[in-house]
Amino acid sequence: MEFANIKNDIYNSKIQVVELNRKGIVLESEDTIFPIPRKKSITTTHPFFIGIEPLLPQITEKTHFPCVNLDIASKLLIVDVDIIPNEDKVYLLIFDFTEHYKDSHPLVQEKNEASIAKDKLAFERQLLIAKEEFKNKFLSNLNHEIRNPLNSLLGFMDVLRKTKLTYEQKEALNVMHETGMHIKILMDDLLDISRIEKGITDIKNVPFSINKSLHSLTRHFSLKKIGEGIVLHLKIHKDVPVRVLGDPTRLNQILFNLLENAFRNTKEGTISVEALLKEKKGKKVYITFIVKDTGSGISKDNLSKVFDSYMQLELNKIKPLGEGLGLRIVKELTGLLGGSVTVDSILGEGSSFNITLPFEIRPKTNKKSKTVPKGTGIVLSKRILIVEDDEINQMLFMKTFINNEKAFYIEIAQSGEQAIDLLNKKKYDLVITKTKLPDMDCLDIIHHLRKNSDLNLRELPALVVSGRTMIEEQKKVKESGATSFLSKPYSKKELFKEISALLD
C-alpha cells in the first residue's frame, strides 16, 4: 500500500495521512491538519505519540484511538487516530473531529446531566425512604419505651388519689399528674407532624372548660419555670363561654408549644396568656388566644419562616431563637381546627402569637349519671382475661379493678401460652393483651381466637393496649383481628370506657 494510493482514497480534507517507518521516523506527511517535521521521530510532534511509539515495531492490525486531545501551536484539536500496518511501514490516519466534538459536546453534556439528575433523584428517593424508615423505627421504639413506664406512673397516681391524702399531698399529686400528662402530649408531638402530613390526625368535639384548661396550663408553667425571673400572667375575658365543645387536647398542644417558645426566648420580663371572644355566630363562637412575651423578638426577614419545620432563627449568628417543630405543629393543628394564626414581633422587644379557633357553645344539661350501688347484685360480673408479663403492670391492673363499680372480674395470664390455655378452658367476655410477650406477640393470640372452631372464641372481643402507637403498628394489629386498640398512657376512666364499649 503506497502513500499516494491512501491519499487518493481519502476524500475528506480533514484527514491527514502520515507515513512512518517501524522506528517511528516520519517519512512523509500531508500536513492537512498540522505540520509534522520529516525525517524526525513522530514523538517530537506531541507527547501523545510517545505512547504509541513502542507499538510500532510489532503492530499487525489496524488500531484505533478515539477522541485524542492534541495541543499543537496553541491550538486544541480533538482527533481520532488510526494506525494501519504495511510491511516495514505504518500509516497514521489523523481524523480532525474538533468541530464535531465541540458541536456534540453540549448535547452529550446535557444527556449526561439528565442521566446524572435522574440517578441522583433515584438515589435521593432511596435515601429519603431509608431515612423515613429509620425515623419511624426510632420514634416507635422511643415512643414505646417512654409510654409504658409513663402509663404505670399515671396509673398509680390515680390509685394514690383514692387514698387518704392531706391537702398539700393532693396538690403535689395534681401537679405530678399534670406534668405526666404534658409528657404524654410531648410524645404525641413527636408523631403529629407525620400524622398531620398524612391527614390522619384525629380531631375531637367534646365538652370541656376553657377556663380550667388555661388555669391548669399556666399553673404547670408557673411551677416548672419558678425562679427564672419571668412573671406569667393569665387573663380570661368575662365574655368567654364557660362551657364549649371542641378539642381540649389540641388546644393544649397549641398553647403549650407557644408557651415553651415564649419561655425559651425570654430571659427576664413577662409572658402573658389572654383569651377573648372575637365573634359569635349562633351556637358557634370564635375565641382568640394571645401568647405574648418580652423576649428577644424576631426580625422582619424571619417572620415568614417561623412556622417552617425545624426552623432555627439566629440573632447575631450566636443565639438560636425559636423551635420550628413546635411552631410548625401550632400552625398545622390550628389549620386542622379551622382556625388561624398570626405573629407580630419586634427584634429585641418581644413577640405576640394570636390564635383564633372556632368552638361550639356547650348546652346546659341536667341529666344525671346513673350509677349502680356497689353490692346490689344488679350488675352481672364480666370476666376479663388480662395478658401481661410485667409485675408492675399486673399490680396496676389489680389496683385498678379492685372494687370497680362495673363489677368486672379479672384473671391475669403471664405469657401467651398461658393465655391460650386459659382461653381454651374458661369462658371470658373480653381479653386485654399487650403487643409483645416473652413467648409470642398479640397477633398469635388473636389468630388463635379468630381461627378457632369455637364460635365464642372466634367472636370474643380483643383489646390491645400498647405504647407502640405508630399508625402502621395500630393498623397491623387491627387488621389481624383485634377489636380495638388503646394507646398508653391511658387513665382508668379511658380504660373502663373502652371496656364498656366492647361489652355493651
pLDDT digits (tens, 9 = 90+) for 452-470: 999 989 999 999 988 776 6
Report residue 374's pLDDT band, with 50, 70 and 90 as the boundaries: very low
DSSP track, 65-90: EEEEEEEETTEEEEEEEEEEEETTEE
Average pLDDT over all residues of the chain: 80
Terminus-to-terminus CA distance in the chain, angstroms?
105
Note the pLDDT of residue 310: 43
Q: What is the pLDDT of residues 183-219, one digit of tens each?
A: 776 666 665 555 555 444 567 788 999 999 899 888 8
Note the pLDDT of residue 104: 65
Note the pLDDT of residue 194: 53
Q: What's the pTM value of the predicted model, to 2 decimals?
A: 0.46
Report residue 369's pLDDT band, with 50, 70 and 90 as the boundaries: very low
Partnered with residue 431 across adjacent β-strands are: 385, 462
Report residue 234's pLDDT band, with 50, 70 and 90 as the boundaries: very high
Give the three-class secondary structure for 340: strand
Q: What is the pLDDT of residues 314-363, one digit of tens each?
A: 433 333 333 445 687 788 889 888 999 999 999 889 999 999 999 998 77
Note the pLDDT of residue 319: 39
Note the pLDDT of residue 372: 46
Better pLDDT: 98 or 280: 280
**Sheet harboring 462-466: ordered strands across?**
408-413, 382-387, 430-433, 462-466, 484-487
Note the pLDDT of residue 158: 83
In the chain the domains, ranked by start, together with CATH numbers, are 3-96 (3.30.450.20), 205-361 (3.30.565.10), 382-503 (3.40.50.2300)
Note the pLDDT of residue 139: 64
Residue 264, pLDDT above cutoff 60: yes
Q: Which range scores top for mean pLDDT: 223-232, 235-244, 379-388?
A: 235-244
Q: Which residues contact 189 (CB under 8 A, 6 or more apart)?
A: 253, 257, 325, 326, 329
